[in-house]
Structure 1
Amino acid sequence: MNTSPAKGVGALDNDEMLLVLQQSLTKKRVLIVDRHPPAREALRLMLGALGVTAVHGAGNSAEVIRQVKGNRFDIILSDFVLDDGRDGQQLLEELRHAHLIPLSTVYMIITSERSYTNVVALAELAPDDYLIKPFTAEQLQGRLVKVIYKKHILHRIYEQIERGALQEAIAACDRVIQQQPSYMYDALRFKGELLHQLGKTREAEEVFRRVLEGRVVPWARMGLAMALRDRGALDEAEQMAEQVTQEAPDFLSAYDFLASVHEAQGRLEDAQHALQRAADASPHNTLRQRMVGDVAARNKDMLTAEKAYGKVIERSKGSSLRTVDDFANLSRVLVERGQVEGSRKIAAEMKREWRGDKQAELAALVTETLCLHAEGAKDKAQAMVAQALELQRQVAAEAAEKGKHPSQRLAVDLAHACYATGQAGEGARIMRQVAAENHEDQHLISHITQVFEQTGQGDAGKAILDEVGKEIIELNNRGVLAARSGDLAGAVQLLIQAAEQVPNLQFLVNAAKAIYTLMDQQGWDNDLAARALSYLQRAQRKDRKSAKVASARQLYMTVAKKYGMPTENI
């Protein structure tokens, strides 16, 4: 890649605009990420020569996470090679996934010419630019000014997305498309993804087809494939994604998508194979390794699941992506493979790392119960599960008080321990609750079904899931029918009841939307608005990318704006 200052980029040819952008650079807050202190100091001096004085440094990923939580950075300059085997690309993915930096933050990776090809090939979530060593202050300034200008052009899109006002973000995309042809494809990409997020599948499909008429790019093909999948055209979606893997084999998210299509088609082995291909190409990607472990476990390939979960723990050290579930997943798989002592070691490691965390204590108790059961120590296992059930009540109460969402997988593991120790009643109670609150999560429902089969509860488990499904339909229909008959106030009360009784994503969204619709017609009510916002936030914690959640969030923005009420970023 050429590192000379950008030329011929529309408004940047204007000397006055270039001067303004160079001056704006001096006001930016910068974070330099490099494991070598002398390299950080050299880059700080280079930035100082450009007039940039608000410069922070970080030597490792954990320090980056700490700093971005305490400061808002305009620019992050990260060396590609970081500590503990991780790289600048993975750091970007973690920061974006956890929403630790806004879209407006410039993220630039610094790399050597020798490793540049490999860096770009694996850039699934592309940084704003790359800078190849060695480079001069003038070259650094030129690249930064170019990216700052692009961020300036797209800033209204970023603002509306971060507010949750997706319809307004789409309108901002349209303005960029009309007024800034140089950035048309950037805006079209955002527009297509936003339409898809709002569940406007046909419109999203049209946008991606428009892009492909002018430029064949992997992201547009993948956008089209997702639209095809969402309207049920699984075979066409599969063909489109396969085409991406052939034409752009390093566009790794295509393999993730293929895996989701294969699983929807009931082809678990093919799904696992697709994910494994991507995981082999990007072995340090924690999220993908976790997905490999999950699909392998559903596919009953416990050896692969063990390896993948082991890599998650190994490679997420010091990362905000690390969870108690990662340890619980590996512990569970080890027990199923007959490696009881190995399972205990993982549980002990988890307790050390998450000392004082009640959910980690619960996971350790559940693991020990399953280990004792595997060893035939029935009485000890029963005593252990009794402790686990008591602790689960404390964890649930603490989570409710703090507005958190306790681990649902861990709850299923506890139900497994209950069934294994002869406490079928407690197991059924937990399974019923988890299934009701997560009935749209097919992966979790599949995990529940497997536990029922493993514990000899196949028929009883099917009956529980069928009953839960019927109850959900009946609860939902009462509120929906009231709304259709014009009794909005009655519908709101019924849907609030449903959301309180069974706080699954569907009920939480339906209750929030019913409240906003009622207020749209009858006026703003602070108490109802606070309740609706709480439901919306809880639904978003379950699935941030859900089209249903996005639609409810958009309604919230619209009604709040109508009455001049402030809105929260959610």
Structure 2
Amino acid sequence: MSDYSHLSVLIVDPNQSMRSSVHNMLTQINISKVDHAVNAATAIRQLSMRSYDVILCEYDLGGSGDQTGQDGQQLLEDLRHHRIIPQWAIFMMLTSEGVYNKVIGAAELQPSDYVLKPFTVEVISQRITRALQRRAALLPVYQMVSQGRASDAITTCQELVQSQPRYALEFARLRAEVLTSLERHSEAEQAYAAILKQKPLGWAQLGQARSIQQQGRLADAEALLKQLVADNPEQMAAYDLLAAILRGSGRDAEAKTVLEDAVAISPHMVVRLRSLGDVALATGDVDAAERAYKQVLVKSRHSEFRDASDHVNLVRTLVKKGDAAGAAATARDLERSLRSTPTTDVCHAYANAMVKELNGDTAGAAAALDKAMTKLSESTGMSSNIKLGLAHSCLKNGLDEQAVVLLDELIADPSSGIGAAQVEAVCREANRVDFVKRYEENPDAAVDAAVREAAELSRGGAQGDAVDVLRKTLRRYPDHHGLRTVAVTAILRLLNDSGWDAELATECTGLLRRIREEQANHPLLPGLIAQYATLRKKYAPPS
């Protein structure tokens, strides 16, 4: 028998007799460092204070109706999403066969293993051994990534495939994921394609589609994802990415249908329910938005990571529906159920402002918005969605200066995800046509500014930075024809000056292919293709 005496284990189960039974089994295989947690909240607190080698979690954490708390899958979602446990943590779900058959396919975040009840000491020993062996094989790569040595991790993945062929597929997957994290998307695409040549795996198809999307080939990514969900309807993350692409191209109604299909299969993922509420509200389906946001509140009520903006989203929906009593009750629930922090205070004041506005109390709405804006300067991590909503309310209530501060900040921040088109839509919705011209999006002007910036960098000898500026602009405007030829020219110049780069070369060929498909008679195309062929012949390593 393996020596498990060094292992630490956390058992998460509301049933005392079951915890004792599992604890006894662990004692029989010489595991003495065992702690217990009776629910998700207790588990999160314990895991926040210390790490465990193995987490054994009951799927059904007890209760019924609105008092269910979190189930094991929702706990795992919180632990992974908030990075409370590392990638290499061993999280094993204990469940009955009936529950297993219901959740295995649609599980968003797969645990290390499922252990079906009832189980024996031998079964739990075998499963722990298998999980430890897998972790030992992958741990060097995980540690390199956590230490910021991503390039070394990629090399190590390739080396370990030879010495540990049993985990070859795991190493291939890790390598592709690390390439994606480094934004080396064309190389990641090739890595996923190599995996798919061996086996048509859903996660590899998803990774390939995500890599293609990140390179701006949205139509190709959309087609792959639609095929993926048709062939493998339980590949849940594919729905999310497809919906994001559809929303990005202004097809909210299609995105809503995709998310509704996903929620029908897997109804517990809070992040997806939020997205469904957002897109339903955007399409004017207030009833669907209300259902989605109410589900978010129910499912996150017992989470240690409750988000005050969930109440705001429901208040916004009920206000749009004209349900003043429901909106006021939701605002009161926000104040009662969440402790006061600057972020919570902003959300509460904003919710109150919307209720007061609906009730015709213009002065009260303005005062509540002024309080929200004051608290906003103290808060951290406020979502772009809430800021955009606040700006909308400010515009409607004549707080123009506050609205401008928020909108300008959102547009200036690339990480906000808010562009000029969204801001313009908010101004129109607030019936502030006087603000629309200030924020009207002009793709040609934005591209011209990027091209000028790239030219200035190139003249200063920063060819790589110039190419980066153009690539980022391409991701924002993937269908801008003129930008493609400028980007290809810059990439070819960089390859000539700095030597061959496989990722840039792949991106270059992708751009040339799109130019050929959409602008076959482009006067610069033959020359660009000839330059690429010359550079490839001169610099590219033999394949």
TM-score (norm 1): 0.75
Taking every aligned residue pair, what percent have the same amino acid on both sides?
Answer: 29
Name the aligned partner's letter for residue 42 of structure 2.
E
- Deviation of residue 74 (structure 1)? 0.8
Cα 1:85–1:430 change in 2 (3 A) is closer
Report whether the alignment pairs 1:28 with 2:7. yes
Deviation at 1:86, TM superposition (A): 3.4
**SS at structure 2 position matched to 1:104:** coil
Higher RCO (C-alpha 8 Å, min separation 6): 1
Q: Which amino acid aligns with 1:452?
A: C
C-alpha contact 1:110 1:132 (8 A) present in aligned 2: yes
Equivalent of 1:268, from 222, 228, 252?
252
Larger mean CA deviation between 197-206 and 454-463 belongs to 454-463
C-alpha distance in 1, partners of 2:203/2:265?
18
- Partner in structure 1 of residue 373 of structure 2: 389
Q: What are the Cα deviations for residues 196-223 of structure 1, in whole angstroms up to 9, with x where unaligned? A: 2222222111111111111111111111
CA RMSD of aligned residues (A): 2.7
1:377 to 1:472, Cα distance in 2 relative to 1, 3 A: farther
Shift of 1:465: 5.5
1:138-181 deviation per Cα after TM superposition (whole angstroms, max 9, x unaligned): 21111111110110000011112222332222122112222211
* SS class of match (1:99): coil
1:457 to 388, 411, 432: 432
Match of 1:432 in 2: 408
Matched, 1:288 2:267: no
Mapping of 1:322-361 within 5 angstroms? Answer: 322-361=306-345
Q: 2:31 aligns to what? A: 52
For residue 388 of structure 2, what is the aligned residue in structure 1?
412
Residue 45 of structure 2 corresponds to residue 63 of structure 1: no
How far does residue 384 in structure 1 lie from its aligned partner after superposition?
3.0
1:168: which partner in 2?
152
Cα pair distance change 1:375/1:65, threshold 3 Å: same
Q: CA deviation at 1:297?
A: 2.1
Q: 1:252 to 1:439 in 2, by over 3 A?
A: closer
Shift of 1:118: 1.7
Aligned length: 460
- Within the candidate set 57, 80, 87, 2:71 is matched to 87
Verify the 8 A CA contact 2:410 2:416 in the aligned structure 1. Answer: no
**d(CA) in 1 for partners of 2:167 and 2:137?**
8
Residues in 1 aligned to 2:444 and 2:284: alpha-carbon distance in whole angstroms: 26
2:315/2:354 contact within 8 Å kept: no
Contact 1:436 1:472 survives alignment (8 Å): no
Residue number in structure 2 paired with 1:370: 354
How much has 1:416 moved relative to structure 2? Answer: 2.1
Judged with a 3 Å threshold, the aligned counterparts in structure 2 of structure 1 residues 445 and 185 are, in CA distance, closer, same or farther, namely: farther
Deviation at 1:28, TM superposition (A): 1.1
Q: Tell me by how many angstroms 1:137 deviates.
A: 0.9
Q: Residue 301 in 1 paired to residue 289 in 2?
A: no
Deviation at 1:27, TM superposition (A): 0.8
Name stretches of at least 5 consecutive residues in structure 2 with no aligned partner: 63-67, 470-543
In the aligned structure 2, how far is the partner of 1:234 from the partner of 1:413? 28
Which residue of structure 1 aligns with residue 120 of structure 2? 136
Question: 1:559-570, aligned counterparts within 5 Å?
Answer: none
Tell me, in whole angstroms, the C-alpha distance in 2 between the residues paired with 1:245 and 1:482: 43
Per-residue CA deviations over 1:83-120 (Å, capped at 9, x if unaligned) read 31632222212211110101221111111122222221
Deviation at 1:481, TM superposition (A): 3.5
Separation (CA, whole Å) in 2 of partners of 1:44 and 1:423: 61
Match among 80, 102, 115 for residue 118 of structure 1: 102
- Give me the whole-angstrom Cα distance separating, in 2, the residues matched to 1:478 and 1:412: 29
Q: Which secondary structure does the structure 2 equivalent of 1:428 belong to? A: helix
Deviation string 1:512-550 (CA, Å, 9 cap, x unpaired) is xxxxxxxxxxxxxxxxxxxxxxxxxxxxxxxxxxxxxxx
Matched, 1:316 2:300: yes
Summarize deviations over 1:298-325 as a string: whole Å, max 9, x none. Answer: 2232221111111111100121342111
Give the aligned residue type for 1:32. Answer: I
Q: Determine which of 163, 178, 194 is the counterpart of 1:179.
A: 163
- Unmatched runs of 5 consecutive residues or more in structure 1: 1-18, 496-570
Change (3 A) 1:141 1:458: farther
Identify if the C-alpha distance between structure 1 residues 472 and 227 changes in structure 2 by more than 3 Å, giving closer, same or farther. closer
SS in 2 for 1:121: coil
Alignment of 1:4-43 (within 5 A): 22-23=2-3, 25-43=4-22
| C-alpha contact (below 8 Å) 1:174/1:187 kept by paired residues | yes
Aligned to 1:562: none
Q: Is the 8 A contact 2:273 2:292 kept in 1?
A: yes
Please name the residue that 1:220 is paired with.
Answer: 204
How far the C-alpha of 1:75 sits from its partner, in A, is 0.4
Structure 1 CA distance for aligned equivalents of residues 314 and 270 of structure 2: 14
What is the TM-score of this pair, normalised by structure 2? 0.79
